[in-house]
Amino acid sequence: MLCPWTDACAARARGDQESFPRKAEKKTGPLRRGAAFVALRADGFILTRRRPEKGLLGGMTEVPTTEWTREFDDTAALTGAPLHARWRRVPGVVTHTFTHFPLELTVYRAGFSVTRKAPAGTRWTPLADLSGEALPNVMRKVVAHALGADVLRPQG
pLDDT, tens digit, 9 for 90 and up, residues 73-100: 988 999 999 999 999 999 999 999 998 8
In the structure, what pLDDT confidence band is assigned to residue 10 with cuts at 50, 70 and 90?
Answer: confident
What's the pLDDT at 154?
A: 47
What's the pLDDT at 143?
A: 95
Domain map (residue ranges) of the chain? 29-149
Residue 94's Cβ-side half-sphere holds a number of Cα atoms within 13 Å equal to 27
d(CA 124, CA 41): 8
pLDDT, tens digit, 9 for 90 and up, residues 89-138: 999 999 999 988 999 999 999 999 999 999 999 999 999 898 888 899 99
In the structure, what pLDDT confidence band is assigned to residue 156 with cuts at 50, 70 and 90?
Answer: very low
Is the bond leading into 4 cis (omega within 30 degrees of zero)?
no
Domain 29-149: which CATH class? Answer: alpha beta
Q: Is 151 helix (H, G, I), strand (E, B) or coil?
A: helix
- What percent of the chain lies above the pLDDT cut of 90? 61
* pTM of the shown model: 0.79
Look at residue 145 and tell me whether its pLDDT is greater than 50.
Answer: yes
Is residue 93 a contact partner of residue 106, using CB atoms and an 8 Å limit?
yes
Residue (of 57, 146, 52) closest to 108 by Cα position: 146
d(CA 33, CA 104): 5
CA distances to 20, 100, 102 from 2, rounded to whole Å, are 15, 38, 41
